[in-house]
Amino acid sequence: MKVIRNIPFDRLEVGMEAEAHRLCVADDLYVFAHASGNLNPLHIPDADGDGDGRPEAVAPSAWIGSLISSVLGNDLPGPGTIYQSQTFRFLGQAHAGDNLAIKVRLKEKGADRRAIFDTWVELEDGTRILEGEAVVTAPEKEVSFDASDVPGLSVRSHVHFDALLAEAEPLPPIETAVVAPEDANSLGGALLAMKHTLIHPILIGDRHRIAAAAHELEADIAGCSVIHVETHRDAAAMGVKLVLEGRAKALMKGFLHTDELLGQVVKSDGGLRVGRRLSHVFVFDVPGMPHLIFVTDAAINISPDLETKVDIVQNAIDLARTLGIETPKVGILSAVETVNPKIPSTIDAAVLSKMAERGQIRSGIVDGPLAMDNAIDMGAARTKGIKSMVAGQAEILVAPNLESGNMLAKELTFVAHAEAGGIVIGARCPIILTSRSDNDKARLASCAIAALYAERKDR
């Protein structure tokens, strides 16, 4: 419980001081931009507001001034204080990452509970960046307030995907066979990834439809190779052929059904299988989570048996490792966290955990069964008495079947406001499955994931 208390007017003495300390973080700048409507790019993290090629992340002066009210309203005089006036002189600037000291000193008391304060804000080295005077009506009676009930805020930023894009963009673009990019969404995603130097697209499909999609986008595709084929089946077969010939290092789904593409990938003669089951891995950047969340399989394997789940888990571990997680923590999900013979997924989870202990699943820490709450929340895991290196901190979530995995993926996207990317693993090359509902960040993230996987998987 966070209780704040005031000092009534009759107990105020000239010379009284109070101060608070605040670390200016990027989220403060986003929140103030939304609350004030001031979208000046100088005050937006990662934006270049003056055209010099570097982001400034300057804290708005009005935001710095608003910090004065936190000391007056919380500490001196505290709850019940009402502003009459406030003056500011802005002497310097603060930036995201600066530690600020906010200070007030009572210099005069007057009639009608009028109190006048000197106010100022300093950087960590003592440099003043703001000073002024506040006139307030101090509270008459002693009051306390439980501030723990004030609703919190979360900022929908996707810093983990930003980091992935920053890692992938310096790499040479990977040659990518884009199968049937015959509408604006699929062609636009490929061209956007090309613009960010993630892929070099080879467009395979009906050249007239591809040209019509480019015309709709007002895009120039003169720099892209275009291979004309008339049917989606032939386009998928050509994409697979390019990978087998070494002319492409990734496949990207365009305006065709997933089954049409994967049917050519998994065929026994001339396909791209390498002895492991294919599976799709969603990669989620969930606002507020300290790491990426991987969800599998939510797109390909409908009711996987134990043998298939081994490949699903290993595929996800391999992808997580290429994205920088050295020893991924894998939570095998079920409805409960104890083995129950009446719930087959709990038995599979226990077996997968033991197989990982015996080295049959490599390079990750696997535990299950785990329910969703105790897989990702440490408090829930402690409440249930679960002692595990995975519980409460799982990075990979393995769903019992496609239905539950798909529902989990959509809940993270539409309820938790996560950004989603993902690829198919288990073939000779990564396969990018984009959706018509994907936004630009999701399309770029999927291509960045594919580029990093293609570059690092052999290591």
350: domain CATH number is 3.40.718.10
Shared domain for 375 and 355, answered yes or no, is yes
Residues 108 and 138 placed together within one structural domain of the fold? yes
> Cα–Cα distance between 173 and 455 in angstroms, integer?
10
Contacts of 33 (CB under 8 A, 6+ apart): 39, 43, 44
Residue that terminates a domain, selected from 149, 184, 202 = 149
The structure tokens listed for 116 are: 């006048």
Residues 269, 140 share a domain: no
Q: Are residues 257 and 394 in the same domain?
A: yes
Do residue 197 and residue 308 come from a single domain?
Answer: yes
Do 203 and 80 lie in one domain? The reply is: no
79 lies in some domain: yes
Tally the domains of the chain: 2
Residues 170 and 145 grouped into a single domain = no
The pLDDT, as a whole number, for residue 148 is: 80
287 and 377 in a single domain? The answer is yes
Residue whose C-alpha is closest to residue 227's, from 263, 286, 181: 181
Burial class (CB in 10 A: 0-12, 13-18, 19+), 187: buried
Question: How high is the mean pLDDT in each 10-residue block of the chain (459 residues)?
Answer: 88 95 91 91 84 86 95 95 96 92 96 96 95 96 87 75 88 93 91 92 94 92 90 94 94 92 89 90 90 94 96 96 94 94 95 96 95 92 90 95 95 90 92 80 89 83
User: Residue 294: inside a domain, yes or no?
Assistant: yes
- Domain containing 135 equals 3-149
| Residue 418, number of CB atoms within 10 A of its CB | 25
Count CB neighbours of 318 within 10 A: 20
178/70 same-domain check: no
Whether residue 259 lies inside any domain: the answer is yes
Backbone angles phi, psi at 88, to 5 degrees: -135, 140
Q: What is the DSSP string of 179-202?
A: E---SHHHHHHHHHHHHTTSEEEE
Q: Which of 149, 169, 194 is the last residue of a domain?
A: 149
Same domain, 137 and 265: no
Asked if residue 154 is part of any domain, the answer here is: no
Give residue 417's pLDDT: 87
Please tell me whether the peptide bond between 369 and the residue prior to it is cis, using omega within 30 degrees of 0.
Answer: yes
Q: What is the pLDDT of residue 156?
A: 67
Q: What is the pTM of this model?
A: 0.77
Q: What is the pLDDT of residue 314?
A: 96
pLDDT of residue 304: 96
